[in-house]
């Protein structure tokens, strides 16, 4: 009897141990399912947030291309300053060239006017000399004709 009681007690203890073991297994499986579900939810939630957060940080300038930033902050201002300086130099040179051409044109016009006035004075002097020479020839011809007329009158 003792043996039967001991066997029954052993079976009862074994059953109790197996029930406790099954209960622990179910509890661990439920805990594992809960962790998997929580991880899956967190992963989906963070995946959506990940894009939003990175987009927001990128918009605020937290992430930038160092080459692009260097070009925008150093190279482009330097290049634009050089272009402005070159354009200013070209503009100044064009203004000086325009002034030089204007003054040269004015000098040429003044020189042409002076030459035209001098030419007119020379032509007037020449016309005056020709008129004087013509008057002298006419006076000589008249004097000669008068002298011939007197000589012809004396011969008669």
Q: What are the residue ranges spanned by the domains of the chain?
A: 1-60, 87-156
- What's the pLDDT tens digit per position in 76-116? 999 999 999 999 999 999 999 999 999 999 999 999 999 99
| Separation between Cα atoms, residue 100 and residue 107, nearest integer Å | 10
Is the pLDDT confidence value at 154 over 80?
no
Q: Quick one: pLDDT band at residue 152, thresholds 50, 70, 90?
A: low
Is the pLDDT confidence value at 68 over 90?
no
Q: Quick one: pLDDT band at residue 56, thresholds 50, 70, 90?
A: confident
pLDDT of residue 33: 96
* Mean pLDDT, residues 10-26: 94
| Separation between Cα atoms, residue 57 and residue 50, nearest integer Å | 10
pLDDT of residue 24: 95
pLDDT of residue 4: 86
């Amino acid at each position: 009897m003792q043996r039967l009681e001991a066997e029954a007690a052993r079976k009862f203890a074994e059953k109790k141990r197996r029930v406790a073991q099954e209960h622990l297994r179910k509890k661990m499986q439920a805990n594992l399912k809960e962790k998997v579900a929580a991880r899956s939810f967190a992963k989906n939630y963070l995946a959506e947030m990940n894009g939003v957060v990175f987009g927001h940080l990128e918009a605020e300038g937290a992430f930038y291309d160092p080459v692009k930033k260097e070009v925008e902050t150093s190279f482009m201002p330097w290049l634009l300053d050089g272009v402005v300086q070159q354009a200013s130099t070209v503009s100044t040179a064009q203004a000086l060239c325009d002034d030089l051409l204007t003054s040269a044109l004015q000098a040429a016009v003044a020189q042409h006017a002076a030459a035209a006035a001098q030419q007119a004075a020379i032509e007037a002097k020449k016309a005056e000399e020709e008129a004087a020479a013509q008057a002298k020839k006419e006076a000589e011809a008249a004097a000669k004709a008068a002298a011939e007329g007197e000589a012809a009158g004396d011969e008669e």
